[in-house]
Structure 1
Amino acid sequence: ALGLAIPLVVSIATERAARGGVLIKDRLALESMRTIDAVLFDKTGTLTRGEPVVTAIEPGAGFDADTVLALAAAAEASSEHPLAKAIIRAATERGLTVPFATDFSSSPAVGVTATVDGHQIRVGGPYLLEEVDATEMAVAGRWREDGAIILHAVRDGVVIGALALADEIRPESREAVDALHKLGVQVVMITGDAEAVAEAVGKELGIDRVLAGVRPEDKAAKVAELQREGIKVAMVGDGVNDAPALAQADVGIAIGAGTDVAIGSAGVILASSDPRSVLSVIELSRASYRKMKQNLWWAGGYNLIAVPLAAGVLAPIGFILPMSVGAILMSLSTIVVALNAQLLRRLDLNPETSARQVLTR
């Protein structure tokens, strides 16, 4: 019974997790999830759908909206970033002719650069404006109040227009945040977006701490800062840029639809992009720990009582435990431990169910 107490629980928990869409690569990661103090979410593609759309275009002097969009789409044509795809999709929907671009290059958290019709075209956020020593367009302030993602298009060092994009928040994100709070877990969001955009999302979801304007290479350092505060961190991410932070966190959780690098750096992999799946992992971790304790108490308590009886401790008063009864009790303890571990199979790890159960306690 003592030998089976832990391995049976671990085996069933791992199998149950796989059936519920959670792949446990590191069993210690599952064990650690019950003790985490904070869940750190990457914003794009995790709390939001990761499918932004262009909501507004403000051209600069001498340019019209279609020209700005076409040039931006040309510069972004070789990029895999969700914002780039949104710009290209907007140009396609408008039926614009996108010119051919050469000499494409990309700089994380800054933007992209390409040559279009002999002119250098750059598209990016606030760090790009710092590099070209330019100021944002006046309309950006109003867009920022609405929580929009703001990009500027620059031709030969001169701002020619601005684009506002919005990334829809997943409807299940609010439920995930509320349920984590119910469990006593702090929720932190990290993003490379401007502070105003990040704060708008954080306020809408009720997130405890927002880390905005974080360059990809600095994400791991932010995780380390939280750990130095004495916080045990579980990091949820899906991109190449998240891999170092996933490795740095006490528990790295990768979205299954994310990149191979992110998946390789994580101890837990979620089959879906539903942020409520994190609750399933926490619930499984806590349930597994309870079963381990129950099995150890049963197996240990049984041995503390049955072994002395089998050794004849009560023989002086005339009680001798028959060997046949001892054999039955030995088998019974093993059966009880095995059956108790099997009760883990009743745990429903559907993200929606996990969130509902936590919120209705």
Structure 2
Amino acid sequence: TVEFDWGMDIYLARQIVSSKLELISGRLPIGTTQPILGPVSSRMGEIFEFAVIGEETDPMELRSIADWTIRYRLQGVEGVSFVINLGGFIKQFQVYLKPKMLKNYDVTINEVKEAIENSNRNFSGGIIMKGSQETLIKGVGRLETIDHIQNTVITSRNNVPVYVKDVADVKIGPKFRRESGSHNGKESVYVTIEKQYGGDTLIAIANVKQTLAQIAEDLPERINIKSFYDQSILIVKSIEHVEISILEGTFLIILVMMFFMWNLRSSFIASLTIPFSILIALVLMDLFGIKLTVMSIGGLAIGIGKVANGSILMVENIYRVLREKKGQASTLELTSEAAKDVG
């Protein structure tokens, strides 16, 4: 984990880390996976979660659909940074070697491994020029079926090719898993969606929902998508809470001011501080690129109470000074004096 100072440009930080990784990548031990940077996101960016479920469906099939159908389509949605799948079983082609046959053909495990790896790739065959046209030649060699692996040539003995099927059994099976997911006590795949850094949560979730509705039409009938966490619901409820807090605060200020001062004008002046303060805060948030998130809305809700308390103290003290020192100075001077008393 690399930590930077608060306010550091995230993209500049990624560029610095990337350049440092390039310097050390050549000195890593043999067999080490090349280090890569993850997406620009965090745990706070997890905005939507759902489960891929299916009655009497193989968990390996659920995971394959989540990995190769749902995830790839969601990664192209505007506002989505990363899609995480948990649960089910990852599909694998598994090669079970036969020790006796390896000895019989004088073939090592490493030879089998290298033969499969070298056969599992596409390559470029160059370009054929014909007049003003260019034809690209592509060699397709990716292994896609069990037969492809079984018929892979390892070596030859007495001019007779030795195939993988001669020394091993090839099957489709699940990869050893380190996590599991369930929904209502049944195997499922949990999918977590993270939004892009600085993106609008509500827009991103709306795009995700629209895409999921399209994906659901293409899935087999027995497989369904069931959402269980939607941050937009929390944001909408928080906005409604802020609206209710504004109305309640305005009403209580008028009630308190009328009860203690019996002055309708002062009550309305104090009550107007809440909507104007919220409006100014929203304008400043827009200028500085701060989106309406759970944290920002929570701050506005807390701020309403502070504003209400301060406005009551300020207006009450100004009203008292104007009444007690009426005629001793101008209204503006007395108002300034009263404001300084409160701070």
Name the TM-score, length of structure 1 as normaliser.
0.27
Higher relative contact order (CA 8 A, sep 6+): 1
